[in-house]
Amino acid sequence: MPAKTISPKTNHWRFETKAIHEGQNPDPATGAVIVPIYQTSTYVQEELGKHKGYEYSRTGNPTRKALEDSLAALENGTFGLAFSSGMAAASTVMNLFSQGDHLIVTDDVYGGTFRLFERVLKKYGLSFTFTDTREIQNTEKALQKNTKGIWIETPTNPLLKLVDLKKTAEFAKKNHLISICDNTFATPYFQNPLDFDLDLVVHSTTKYLGGHSDVVGGGVVTNRNDLYETIKFHQNAVGGIPGPFDSWLVLRGIKTLAVRMVQHEKNALKIAKMLENHPSVLKVNYPGLHSHPQHQLAEQQMRGFGGMISFEIKGGLESARNLLNHTKLFSLAESLGGVESLIEHPATMTHASLPQAAREKLGISDGLIRVSVGIENIEDLTTELENALNQSRRK
Smallest distance, ligand PLP to C-beta of residue 105, A? 12
In the complex with ligand PLP, the residue whose CB is nearer, 242 or 367, is 242
For residues 153-192, which are near ligand PLP according to CB under 6 A? 153, 157, 182, 184-185
User: Which residue in the set 26, 36, 60, 112 belongs to the binding site for ligand PLP (CB under 6 A)?
Assistant: 112
Establish whether 134 is a catalytic residue: no
From the list 58, 252, 321, 393, the catalytic residue is 58
User: Which residue among 38, 108, 110, 246 is the active-site one?
Assistant: 110
Q: Would you count residue 223 as binding ligand PLP (CB under 6 A)?
A: no
**For this structure, is 189 an active site residue?**
no
| Residue 64 among the catalytic residues | no
Between residues 196 and 208, which has the closer beta carbon with respect to ligand PLP?
A: 208
Determine if 363 is a binding residue for ligand PLP (CB under 6 A): no
Virtual CA dihedral for 96, 102, 103, 105, nearest 10 degrees? 140
Q: Is 58 a catalytic residue?
A: yes
Instruction: Give the span between the Cα atoms of 106 and 110, in whole angstroms.
Output: 9
Annotated catalytic residue within 207, 260, 359, 370: 207
Q: Which range binds ligand PLP by CB under 6 A, 109-117, 123-131, 228-236, 289-297? A: 109-117
- Which residues within the stretch 197-216 sit at the binding site for ligand PLP (CB under 6 A)? 204, 206-207, 216
Q: 85 or 247, CB closer to ligand PLP?
A: 85
Is 26 a binding residue for ligand PLP by CB under 6 A? The answer is no
Binding site for ligand PLP (CB under 6 A): 85-87, 110, 112-113, 153, 157, 182, 184-185, 204, 206-207, 216, 218
Catalytic residue numbers, as ranges: 58, 110, 182, 207
